[in-house]
Amino acid sequence: MFDKIFQTVFFNNRIIDYLNTLGIFLVSILVISLFKRIILSRIKNWVKQTSTILDDLLIRIFEKSIMPLLYFGAFYISIRNLILKPSFTKAVDILGLLLLTFLT
């Protein structure tokens, strides 16, 4: 029964394809969140102990620029599994380029 439901096609993609895309996106967000919570917080604590300002600046740049790019990257990678209209794919590509341009 579930096999028939998973093989149902909406907008040129099967339901299982949408579920795979959602799974990839959620796992990616989880990995990014764990990275932010564990590794980035440890780096922040280490940076607080140093006397230089440069490392503080690098951490702020990472949080303000790289983290949003990582979240967009998770979205971008996950939707690549779907068959989408070329106009939507092009819009996502342009949005990614704009984010990359303005955040870096």
Q: Any idea where the domains of the chain sit in the sequence?
A: 2-103
Reported as a pLDDT band with limits 50, 70 and 90, residue 97 is very high
State the pTM of this model. 0.82
Tens of pLDDT, residues 12-44: 899 999 999 999 999 999 999 999 899 888 888
Nearest-angstrom CA–CA distance, 19 and 65? 29
Tokens of 17: 């394809």
Instruction: Dump pLDDT digits (tens) for 56-74.
Output: 888 888 888 888 999 999 9
Cα angle 21, 25, 28 (rounded to 5 degrees) comes to: 140
Give Rg (Cα) of the chain: 19
Q: Give the per-residue pLDDT at 81.
A: 87
Whether the pLDDT of residue 102 is over 90: the answer is no
